[in-house]
Amino acid sequence: MYTLIIILIIIVCILLVGVVMVQNSKGGGLASDFSSSNQIIGVQRTGDFLEKATWYLTIALMVLTLGSNFFIDRGEVVQEESAIQEQIDNAALPATDDLGEPAAE
């Protein structure tokens, strides 16, 4: 499932780059090329479409990115002891009596 989410994120990113590259930073965008024929072929709202597409793709990217956190396979967390702690545990402790004093030999 995580792989599918990552693939969708990549597709949304590519589409978002494409939509942003089509837009003109001065506000004309794709609609500026067809300004003389706005009523003939109906490209009057191309700028609005590109702006809405940018917002929808951005929202989709955010949702997919945040949602991917729920599908990450974290596996079982096994905390291993350090080598120093293992040596301490394996070290021979001096023999003591019930009171904690060294045992007499």
Tens-place pLDDT, residues 10-65: 999 999 999 988 887 665 555 555 555 444 445 556 678 888 999 999 999 999 99
**Cα(71)–Cα(3) distance, integer angstroms:** 9
Residue 8 pLDDT > 90, yes or no? Answer: yes
The label of the residue with tokens 């021979």 reads 92
pTM over 0.85: no
Q: Which of 20-24, 84-88, 99-103 has the lowest mean pLDDT?
A: 99-103
